[in-house]
Copies of this chain bind each other. A is one copy, B any other.
Amino acid sequence: MTLETSALLTDFYQLTMLQTYHTEGMEDLAAFELFARRLPPQRGFLIAAGLEQALDYLENLRFAPDELSWLAACGRFSPRFLDFLAEFRFTGTVHALAEGTACFADEPIVRITAPLPQAQLVESRLINLIHYQTLIASKAARCVLAAPDKRLVDFGMRRAHGAEAGLFAARAAYLAGFDGTATVLAGMRFGIPLFGTMAHSLIQAHDREEDAFEHFAAAQPDHVVLLIDTYDTEAAARKLIALAPRLRARGIAIRGVRIDSGDLSEAARRVRAILDRGGLRQATIFVSGDLDETRLQQLLADGAPIDGFGVGTRLDASTDAPILELVYKLQEYAGRPRRKRSQGKATWPGRKQVYRTLAAGGAFAGDYLGLDADSQPGEPLLRPVMIDGRRLSPPEPLTAVRDRVRQQLAALPPALRANRTAPAYPVHIAAELRQLADRLDREPH
């Protein structure tokens, strides 16, 4: 078993609970919903992402022989229960928002309906999978809104939190509208366009900066983008002007430059002037270094002549809001709606549906959170994606998810589209749902 597919990538309490359910024969149908309890103050909306990986996980979930042996050796589980785990498969039903759907607090992103032990066990990894990509897609969408006509590339793998975060950040950013990533494995696994040129070390390893430029150009003649801030950015730009005719004679064009430090706006302006005066009008300027949507907006508002941005650490770790309060809660068991009432953490009970109403022109006009069995105004957004443990359709191409995100972003209220702080988008709790919650609160436990 690999790390990502291990059934033991879960919390220990899932197994102790499962042993209890198994001992008591509690295997009736349970409905759990995964949703954001509230949004971080820095986020007015989320972009749902990670569903494909969650479905992969559910389809392939099983305990490997060495995992079962290890569980047996740890002395906490009965042989009968371990036999049950050996046969464990996920055979449930999944309803979900399509990847790339804009969503808000309280709205289920995924609903699992399955025998209680199955629906329970998957909690930890399911949150883990949906949480991270939704976190990053939501952050990336803000970058896309900040710089809609610029090239945006994910540069963040090195300071993403581990291997999977590095890989999935690339996927989440791409589906949210980024043009590509620097992470090679994301190119191989997901077909995401790859970008990347050189680090400062390539320049430093040469005694003369112009030699580094020339050697790199000769080795990558069709992709000559040169990093010019290792020693003196403007001096390096002038070296390019001197180098360009020599390269041109060999049929090589300088496509662009990258600047990674200093006052990016001022540096871009000065470099643009040098390149333009020196006959390199077509060479683009790409910048990187501690960028996020706020810096992108500032740089563009400032009129900086920048064609593209490498967004790294602040994207892949979503540094301004590094977690979402995603939770996975039991809403129904054995046909009866259930409600957690813990202080500050109460949930809306029952199987629910999200209904989205649209204004003229397709703009989002407000959502209704209602019971699945009732009907509310608007389009229901949760759709079945897995029945009896099997996907209903093959994975959606990322290009289709990108199209959906584009449409969703265009339909957001203007303040959210502008990354401005705004009153929360209206999610109306249906009267029937409030009544159900009130009724459950009056029942004894």
Q: Which positions in A face B, CB cutoff 8 Å? A: 2-4, 6, 8-17, 19-24, 26, 30, 32, 67, 70, 74, 76, 116, 120, 123-125, 127-128, 131-132, 135, 155, 157-168, 182-185, 187-188, 194-205, 207-209, 215-216, 218-220, 223, 229-232, 260-263, 313, 317-319, 322-324, 326, 329-330, 333-334, 336, 338-345, 444-445
Contacts and interface: CB of A to CB of B under 8 A. Distances in A.
20 contacts: A3-B4, A4-B163, A9-B184, A10-B184, A12-B196, A14-B199, A17-B216, A21-B202, A67-B188, A70-B187, A120-B202, A128-B157, A128-B159, A132-B162, A161-B162, A161-B165, A162-B165, A205-B330, A208-B444, A318-B322
Given A200-B330, A342-B260, A182 B11 contact: yes
Given A4-B163, A317-B161, A319-B323, A208 B445 contact: yes
Contacts of A184: 8-12, 15
A20 to B, nearest CB: 4
B166 A128 contact: yes
Contact of A230 (B127, B135, B203, B340): B340
B323 A159 contact: yes
Contacts of A202: 17, 20-21, 120
A216 B318 CA distance: 39
Given A26-B205, A76-B223, A70 B3 contact: no
Nearest to A327: B158
Contact of A201 (B17, B168, B231, B313): B17
Nearest to A4: B163
A189 B70 CA distance: 10
Contact of A13 (B198, B313, B323): B198
A102 to B, nearest CB: 21
B161 A3 contact: no
B155 A131 contact: no
B12 A194 contact: yes
A263 B32 CA distance: 27
Contact of A131 (B128, B159, B205, B218): B159
Contact of A162 (B162, B205, B215, B260): B162
Contacts of A116: 205
A317 B23 CA distance: 35
Given A67-B188, A261-B343, A128 B162 contact: yes
Contacts of A160: 128, 161-162
A139 B168 CA distance: 24
Contact of A120 (B125, B131, B185, B201): B201
A124 B200 contact: no
B215 A11 contact: no
Contacts of A182: 11-13
